[in-house]
Structure 1
Amino acid sequence: MKTPLLATVLSFMICSFSFAQGSCSKFYPLEEGSSFEYTNYNKKGKVEGTVNYTVSEVRQEGSASVATFAMKYKDKKGEDVFETDYSFSCENGIVTIDYESLFPSQMMQQYTEMGLEMDISGTDIQLPNDLSVGQQLPDANVVVSMSMGGINMTTSVDQTNRKVEKKEKVTTPAGTFECYLLTEDQLTKTMGANIETKSQLWLAEGIGMVKQESYKKNGTLISRMELTQYSK
């Protein structure tokens, strides 16, 4: 099983949750054709890859708004690594995500052909309309359980101590934005290992995620992802 790819997908899943929650319009413009490019950098500031999100469809199903996103990930050489479509629905400020759709169809097909069974579950991140400095936000988690030939493996990511730290302006190659800074602790459990990290996320109204930084427990920078271009 390609666990490095699985870890990559999970990391983007967390990012996706971070900008797609709460109101269906306040922190992210649900307009068909809107596109966002994020560049991922390692701790030395070197490009590791890019991820592109495009809003491919927005529709109403009763009182719920349902959006479909096309996601493409390229490595540092600009070569395609994977692409997938995923969706979420929003009703009365509550978001439901199709967890399984976040995994690339090619990877899911490969795993199925290998006889692997996969179950994905979790607790959606909640991001209220009205953020305020000092506000505590609910915990969240995602769990991926896989089984093949009597071998079981579970990978989980718990997001705790989520808090709105402050408001500040952030500049990226895409521009300068007035953002809320959200911080949280993350605990990843996989293959008997517990990995504790901390995350800082900058959100701008009408844009969504502008920048994200991940740190080791001791404060050492692991990686940075930031908005490099967008259109809506």
Structure 2
Amino acid sequence: MCSNYDACTSTERLRLHFGVELPAGVNLRKDVWPAYQAPFVRRHPNADVGDDAVPPRESLVGLFGMVPHWSGDVAFGRRTYNARSETVAEKPSFRDAWRNGQHCIVPVEAIYEPDWRSGSAVPTRIQRKDGHPIGIAGLWTSNRKATGEELLSFTMLTINADDHELFKHFHKPQDEKRMVVILHEHQYDEWLKAPAAKSMDFMRQYPAHLLISTPDPDRGKKKR
């Protein structure tokens, strides 16, 4: 599971690795926790009109933690920042976005997980070994009930990682091991365009040898 990450907010890196730019005038913090504002990438709603001036993807800003259309509470997103692939189609918080194929990519520089191998939780930074940002498969939604205006929010999809060479080391020994769904670059447009019936095809583990982890014991001491 992932509740804390460093967002990819660099204009240059978003353009180079995701083909998008942040909306004008947006000022975002890099350190993201549930209910914080952060960027996500989705397929442009007019991408299929045949106009070369319309980009295939767009970057928007939303809350990390899904606030479903029927919820009147923005704080709802504090417990819906991750969606289990095994139950996402049935859970009321996520099922509409899943069934409607509201796919997005969460652009991330690194995620943080607790390593319990020493007997206590050591915050650990996980990033791509090649230095490129991580594209995490997610779902997005729109809500007007919570604030009276359009509120965008998103969640990260997760899968079992009991046998993953890296992610099996995180969280308490008795807990199920989970990991976010990290996409390969060639899958970005495939994921954003995929119909709901094909969503499960992307729920796969990312190879451990393409990732690197670094202990960051001071992470939990930083002010949110």
TM range (shorter): under 0.3
Answer 1 or 2: which has greater helix percent.
Answer: 2
Q: So what's the TM-score if we normalise by structure 1?
A: 0.23
Higher relative contact order structure (alpha carbons within 8 Å, sequence separation ≥ 6): 2
Q: So what's the TM-score if we normalise by structure 2?
A: 0.24
